[in-house]
Structure 1
Amino acid sequence: MQQRPLPVPRRLAASALVALGVSAVSLAATVLVFFVTNGATAANLGPLTTYFLPAAIALLVFLFLAALVGAFRSWWGAALAGLLGGILASIAGTAYTVVSTGTAWSQEVTDYLLGSLAGTSLVFEVAAIVAAVTLGRAIWRAFPAADRGPVAIVRLPSDKLQDGELTHLERTAVDADLAQEQWDAYVSVLEREGFEIVQAEPAEEHPDSVFIEDVVVMFGDVAVITSPGAESREGELEGIRELVESLGQRVEQITRPGTLDGGDVLKVGSTVYVGRGGRTNGEGIRQLRAIVAPLGYTVIAVPIKKALHLKSAVTALPDGTVIGFAKYLESPTVFERFLPVPEAHGAAVVVLGPDAVLLSSAAPKTKTLLEDLGYRVVTVDVSEFEKLEGCVTCLSVRIR
């Protein structure tokens, strides 16, 4: 999973604070446990602190290095850093204590040192793991990645793409090699247009996993992980939480019995249109409304029966005008400003900037229409994905 690192100055500061915080808490927790178990006598505080201080210092150094290389971008990385750091720091601290007394190194000393890992030092090791996963992660995440530009999250097509779900179209042969070429070209366009590309881990066992828009929806710094309407797609959620958290997003999630596909969610300013169709149900819409209402968004449910997703039928231009293929809609009047387009594949655009959009090359008439409105239109061939009811929006998740 490709994750965005902190810039060097912020990484150094974050690493130092993570290491200092986790080692200090680990030391304090360990001393407190032994202080209480030894009768809570004030005279014990000094010797206990002195005994565990070398291990805490060693832990600080280890965690600083671990944080520098990105261990705290994920919870499991933090847990591993806490585990290894706790063990190595305990060994170093115990070894220092033994050596500082002038004791000659021997097999007996080695046995004592190793035995202490499951004895005297065990509390310190456990404290290091818990503090790393909780406090360490919290400190790391408190540092924003940067004043970054737009990000596009993408996922490689599965070799099983041909077997993707179909609802409204007849199945036709998908050229896997051509699909890969088209995906590469699509990603290249986004990169040329200023998007930083972040790749989610491939999900080879899931044919539809390339349509990553369906599994997570962004609302500012909040990422809503969806509950796919097709049960075959539930496995695509794996790893998405860790990925979006690494990008600085706060995570919310739709849960069963609610279902929600990201392709059904169209944001126009503070209004969120949600398609109520085959993949998104009323409970999913209710949960989304409860999540985004406190963020200042208004959710409007839109019946959709003739297309797989709402955004297969309508999307929005940079100025907020909703464009769509009228034959796919039950009631275009639900949108405040609606502009019909002449081709089905012209209903979906990705906003590239205030005056530019990305459009399927299968919609030349729509391209002319949008250019006549003053937009720069970039086209890309996504024919192999359109055979599976995909479009230009569903191949990426954009964070601006």
Structure 2
Amino acid sequence: MHTPAPSFARRLSASLITGFVTALVVHAAVVLMYFVSNGASGEALVALNNYFLAASLSLAVLLTIAALLGAFRTWWGAAIAGLVGGIAASALGVLYAVVSSGTAWSDQATAFLFTSLAGTSLVFEVGAVVAALTAGRALWKAALSWSRDVPRRIALVRPPSSRLAEGEITHLERVPVDAELAETQWDGYVAALAAEGFEVLDVAAADDHPDSVFIEDTVVIFGDLAVITSPGAESRRGEITDVRETVASLGLRVAEIAEPGTLDGGDVLKVGTTVYVGRGGRTNGEGIRQLRAILSPLGYTVVAVPVKKALHLKSVVTALPDGTVIGYPKLVEHPGVFGRFLAVPEEHGSAVVVLSDDAVLLSSSAPKTATLLADLGYRVVTVDVSEFEKLEGCVTCLSVRIR
């Protein structure tokens, strides 16, 4: 179970606290040290404060930027931030002193800069490193806790294209799709997510991409990491551009599957730290290899599963909140791969969206499965997605949930 990515506002507030308070600690320590060594006179205190003020303000800004970029998550990141920030801030402080004095830059000013960096400002630079490693890291962790916001539960969705009926199909016979009914069903699906507390965000419509409503295939979320896919159908590869921009705007880190690798998000089923990936018509071995290389350092185990009887793995199996994998037996080729497996009585009952620890979203075309899951103690929310099911879609395909 992964902690939701902190919102940008939360990270920004924590970064500002870290940067400015750490710089204040450095400023106070350096001024106090020189104040004592210069006889503890009032004039010396004022002069020292003025001398280091520009450098300290510069350090505050630089450390804030470093914190926002995640430097204070590790001790070595904090050390680098302190060292680079201390040197750069000292240089900016000297530059400000020269410019504010009205003196033109000269060789003498350059010599003064280097002399200061290796002399008077050296204590400031060392102090920046020490403070970043101690106060900075402690402040970063504490500030994130103090500024803790209610975790956002975001659902990314994408409006249906007017060309929806032209969408790709592989395992079904093409039948007419009622575009007006599809719009109504999509609205109902979005309303159901909103009613369950999800903040629903629309990705810009892509009318020239008939399958774009099936947004799940374009990105897979792992904590604060968004993996942009490489759709197996060439006609769908243009869908990823707007999705990439949207997840990046949410402050998520972004990784990508590159050609010749192909990967559809509908082939990726996450159960704890195990990631099952369907090897079928839309996802190839190279795509799975790249996903494994991305996720293994994060502690995930990628398990490849052959899929031949359906378009995607998640057309065949999904998981309940407790990690039990459910599926329609006639379509599941390798149920033993999943450990805990529960057969459901209807084909469309194999796809559920987890809404919370005790609630799931299910297609209304699987009433027997709804009864089964309710009997297991789950609250079952049903929606009609029949027009999307005609195109090998299901309830999972129509959104990407970010928790």
- Paired with 1:306 and 1:160, the residues of 2 have a C-alpha distance of 26
- Corresponding position: 1:41 with 2:41: no
- Corresponding position: 1:276 with 2:342: no
Normalising by structure 1, we get a TM-score of 0.67
Q: Deviations over 1:340-361 (max 9, x none)?
A: 1111100000001111100000
Deviation at 1:241, TM superposition (A): 2.1
Query: One-letter code of the match for 1:199?
Result: D
Query: One-letter code of the match for 2:318?
Result: T
- Corresponding position: 1:267 with 2:267: no
Deviation at 1:165, TM superposition (A): 0.4
CA RMSD after TM alignment: 3.3
Deviation at 1:9, TM superposition (A): 8.9
1:337 aligned residue (336, 340, 348): 340
- Paired with 2:384 and 2:14, the residues of 1 have a C-alpha distance of 40
Deviation at 1:20, TM superposition (A): 5.3
Deviation at 1:333, TM superposition (A): 1.1
Q: Deviations over 1:315-368 (max 9, x none)?
A: 000111000011112211111011111111000000011111000000011111
Consecutive unaligned residues in structure 2, runs of 5 or more: 1-6, 21-57, 66-84, 113-142
Aligned residue pairs total 297
Deviation at 1:290, TM superposition (A): 0.7
- Paired with 1:320 and 1:11, the residues of 2 have a C-alpha distance of 34
2:319 aligned residue (316, 319, 328): 316
Residue equivalent to 1:196 = 199
- Corresponding position: 1:230 with 2:296: no
Tell me the secondary structure at the aligned position of residue 328 of structure 1: coil
Deviation at 1:233, TM superposition (A): 0.4
- Corresponding position: 1:171 with 2:135: no
Deviation at 1:45, TM superposition (A): 10
Identity of aligned residues (%): 65
- Corresponding position: 1:296 with 2:287: no
- Corresponding position: 1:366 with 2:369: yes
Tell me the secondary structure at the aligned position of residue 9 of structure 2: coil
Q: 1:325 to 1:267 in 2, by over 3 A?
A: same
- Paired with 2:297 and 2:109, the residues of 1 have a C-alpha distance of 52
- Paired with 1:258 and 1:365, the residues of 2 have a C-alpha distance of 38
Query: One-letter code of the match for 1:201?
Result: A
Q: Deviations over 1:297-332 (max 9, x none)?
A: 111110000100000000000111000011112211
Q: 1:373 to 1:286 in 2, by over 3 A?
A: same
Bigger Cα displacement from structure 2, 246-255 vs 206-215: 246-255
- Paired with 2:320 and 2:107, the residues of 1 have a C-alpha distance of 70
Q: 1:294 to 1:40 in 2, by over 3 A?
A: farther
Query: One-letter code of the match for 1:41?
Result: D
Residue equivalent to 2:185 = 182
2:245 aligned residue (233, 236, 242): 242
Deviation at 1:176, TM superposition (A): 1.0
Paired residues of 1:222 and 1:249 also in contact (CA < 8 A) = yes
Q: Deviations over 1:14-38 (max 9, x none)?
A: 9x9999569x99x96xx79xx9xx9
- Paired with 1:320 and 1:386, the residues of 2 have a C-alpha distance of 25
Paired residues of 1:6 and 1:146 also in contact (CA < 8 A) = no
Consecutive unaligned residues in structure 1, runs of 5 or more: 47-141
